Amino acid sequence: MEQLHLLVAITAQEATETTTHVELSKSAFMSNLAQLVPMPDCNQSPRNMYQCQMGKQTMGTPIHTWATNAETKLYRLHTPATPLFRPAHYDRVALDDYPMGTNAVVAVISYTGYDMEDAMIINKAAHQRGFAAGSIYKSEVVDLENPSSYFCRDPAATDLHQFLDEDGLPPVGAVLKFDDPFYSYYDADKSSFVLHKFKYKEAAAVDSVRQCGDFSVRAGKKAIIMMRIQRNPSVGDKFASRAGQKGICSQLWPAEDLPFTEAGLVPDVLFNPHGFPSRMTIAMMLECMAGKSAPLHGQVSVGHYRAWGTIERGTPSHLYCSHKYIFAWGTIERGAHDAVCVRSSLHGGGAGARRAVQPARLPVAHDHRHDARVHGRQERAAARTGERGAL
């Protein structure tokens, strides 16, 4: 049916005699990714499109079957957190079962010059505590072509006992380093044992080892070795908020040199305030305000995509967007404590002098996107020298 002949009503109340279809909901015309952007109507349109693209790239929890999975490559975030400010669609699709992203205390301040041009500074202490820590799961499939071949450790090579089991495969939990024995099998064509060594520069832990075959008594001719490579944030990795504010980690700055509040709170991320005016991501500012009121009251704030709605008085979880939500969230924060407000004074990390400006100190949900291009360049550079680089 051509779209020319469709007449779609947003709600059932708007339907007339000529209406052909009715939307399932007011946001059904948007994809799941678009509905997970908090308050997209308060952002510039390109920023929403950026986030729809970047939401598919983030490190998160893609599956729950890690023990039986055999994907070629998967990224897993070890320290996910439920966002303190979320759209209604987040709970509708039960995204807490597959968490992605983490909450971070963000200081919107220009500091040290390493935050220019969409760069950002990460607290080194937060990095050491596991901020946005993740792993890469990679599989190695070994298929024996000759039916008479089988996996086995060479009995004559006594030095292989510390690396391989009797079946010629590495034990689960073993840490593999470059040029370590990886697996061994008996090649019926050559009538000899063949040993393959670990060819990657990056160390990897063996997560699981499986032999695949049929229900016969014969040993399987295919083995799948799942490896786990620790991938913590590093300089060059990409981070982004759900408002499409993307940036590159430029420095891991020591916590003792970062600005701190009067209560002693040190931010996890330093974000340059020059990223707001031209991008016009007002939703991120509102997320900051709601994200700060949420932990003060122990309840998450729901950011609805209806900017023309009304505020329902009550707990912060029932707050919806309208032209009054700024004052509502500000009232919540002031109600928690008279000294608490959206703007918190910071003291410099150098001499400890109080900043004349009061930069925002706000919790914001961030997504970590590992920049595989850096490691890919290392791999190609090593390949040119006859070696295999990082995974």
* 362-370: average pLDDT: 61
Q: Give the pLDDT score at 217.
A: 67
Q: Which residues pair with 138 in a beta bridge?
A: 73, 227
Cβ atoms 221, 188 nearer than 8 A: no
User: Among the CATH numbers 3.30.450.40, 2.102.10.10, 1.20.120.10, 2.40.50.150, which is that of 136-231?
Assistant: 2.40.50.150
Q: Which helix (H) or strand (E) holds 361?
A: strand 360-369
* 40-54: average pLDDT: 89
- Residue 68 — very low, low, confident or very high, per pLDDT cuts 50/70/90? confident
Q: Which residue from 150, 172, 171 is spatially nearest to 222, judged by alpha carbons?
A: 150
Q: Give the pLDDT score at 384.
A: 39
Cβ atoms 303, 35 nearer than 8 A: no
Distance CA 181, CA 162 (A): 10
Query: Is residue 359 predicted with pLDDT exceeding 90?
Result: no
- Residue 303 — very low, low, confident or very high, per pLDDT cuts 50/70/90? low
- pLDDT tens digits, residue range 97-153? 999 888 888 888 888 888 888 889 999 999 999 999 999 999 999 999 888 899 999
Q: Is 94 left (phi over 0), alpha (psi -120 to 50) or beta?
A: left
Q: Give the pLDDT score at 379.
A: 43
Judged by DSSP in three states, 55 sits in coil
Query: Is residue 226 predicted with pLDDT exceeding 80?
Result: yes
Judged by DSSP in three states, 91 sits in helix
- Residue 325 — very low, low, confident or very high, per pLDDT cuts 50/70/90? very low
Q: What is the DSSP string of 297-333?
A: HT--EE--S-TT--PPPSSGGG---STTHHHHHHHHH
* 11-37: average pLDDT: 88
Percent of the chain with pLDDT over 90: 28
- pLDDT tens digits, residue range 241-285? 888 888 889 999 999 999 888 788 899 999 888 888 888 888 888
Of residues 4 and 123, the one with the higher pLDDT is 123
Q: Give the pLDDT score at 387.
A: 38
Query: Is residue 381 predicted with pLDDT exceeding 50?
Result: no
State the CB neighbour count (10 A cutoff) for residue 163: 20
Query: Is residue 49 predicted with pLDDT exceeding 70?
Result: yes
Cβ atoms 101, 233 nearer than 8 A: no
Q: Is the dihedral of CA 320, 323, 324, 325 positive or negative?
A: positive
Query: Is residue 220 predicted with pLDDT exceeding 80?
Result: no
* 176-198: average pLDDT: 92
Q: Give the pLDDT score at 301.
A: 66
Of 43-47, 186-190, 214-218, 280-284, the one with minimum mean pLDDT is 214-218
Q: Which CATH homologous superfamily contains domain 34-64+80-133+234-372?
A: DNA-directed RNA polymerase, subunit 2, domain 6 (2.40.270.10)
Cβ atoms 45, 59 nearer than 8 A: no
Question: Which structure tokens are listed for 50?
Answer: 């950026």
pTM for this model (two decimals): 0.75
Q: Is 205 exposed, middle or buried (0-12, 13-18, 19+ CB in 10 A)?
A: middle
Q: What is the CA radius of gyration of the chain?
A: 27
- Residue 363 — very low, low, confident or very high, per pLDDT cuts 50/70/90? low
Spatial neighbors of 336 by CB under 8 A, at least 6 apart, are 293, 296, 297
Query: Is residue 64 predicted with pLDDT exceeding 50?
Result: yes
Of residues 261 and 342, the one with the higher pLDDT is 261
Distance CA 294, CA 339 (A): 16
Q: What ranges do the domains of the chain cover?
A: 3-30, 34-64+80-133+234-372, 136-231
Of residues 262 and 237, the one with the higher pLDDT is 237
Q: Is the dihedral of CA 350, 355, 356, 362 positive or negative?
A: positive
